[in-house]
Amino acid sequence: MVRLQGEWKRHGPEAERQPPFYEEPRYDDPFFQEAFRELNGLLAAELDGNPLVEYFDTFMYGFWGEGHTWPFTNHPFPDDAAAERAWVGMFEVQLEHWKKTPLVTNTQPDYSRVGNSELVDRTVRSHNWLRTDTIFIENEQIEALSNRPPWVAAILEVSMGDGTPDSLELDEGVTLTDNAIAHVLANCIKNPQAPGLVNALTHLLLNQERKATHDAAKAAAKATRDAAKAARQAAHAAAHAEHGNSDHGNSGGEHGNSGH
């Protein structure tokens, strides 16, 4: 195991469970490679082409197999080229075993310098699929998915929020969306020569504006429906009251005539 360099500052309950340090294995170790090949062979023999399995993740470096160990600055390989060779080789192993069920590769930017872009390229060229955990603040992922060939499906694993109170993830009154925009804006100010950050911020603001417009339209439509419903109920109540008065008058007239 190789210890990662840097610090991951976590907060709340996550900070209480945080280990004193983080380590990653030498993925290029022959023992690891043998076990990886065996595991894929066993899984593919059971699941490749199974109608219950829509796709199978490409195995990638780091935390959750997402292709990074952010915010740490190193990786466990001797150099970046060795890291890329290892992951390309492991991708080829998966291609050997998964012939029917599509492989799905994360479009995670290559923060840890382990060859993610090469895996994405080989995924597309082999007619497999792409996925993302979130494209909310990473313009590189937006571009990769938006410009993919027509034969490549895109799996969007999670959104940043759907407008419900729980999904807003308020922190001292600030929503997750606004917090993300603030972080991207801060990065733009610190790195004015990074156009990708400016593009990402533009996407964030446009998304927020579209959501506000959509929410306003929904609220207006609901108000219209509520007003129409109230009008129908008032008309029904008035008609019912008029019918009741009419019945009462007729009944009295008939009673008087009968008595006479």
Q: What is the pLDDT of residues 77-115, one digit of tens each?
A: 999 999 999 999 999 999 999 999 999 999 988 989 999
pTM for the full model?
Answer: 0.63
Task: For the chain, give the mean pLDDT.
Answer: 83
Q: How far apart are CA 205 and CA 200, in angstroms?
A: 9
Q: What is the pLDDT of residue 8?
A: 86
- Percent of the chain at pLDDT > 90 equals 47
Sign of CA dihedral 174, 177, 179, 185: negative
Q: What is the mean pLDDT of residues 193-202?
A: 57
pLDDT for 245 beyond 70: no
**C-alpha distances out from residue 222 to 4, 213, 229, 230, Å:** 53, 14, 10, 12
Q: What is the pLDDT of residue 260?
A: 47
Of the pLDDT bands very low, low, confident and very high (cuts 50, 70, 90), residue 163 is: low
Give yes or no for a contact between 137 and 110, defined as CB atoms under 8 angstroms apart. no
Q: What is the pLDDT of residue 159?
A: 57
Three-class SS of residue 154? Answer: strand
Sign of CA dihedral 179, 180, 181, 186: positive
Q: What is the pLDDT of residue 232?
A: 92
- Closest CA relative to residue 142, chosen from 156, 127, 152: 156
**Residue 117 half-sphere exposure toward CB, CA atoms < 13 A:** 10
Instruction: Report domain extents, the chain.
Output: 2-158, 171-260
Burial class (CB in 10 A: 0-12, 13-18, 19+), 204: buried
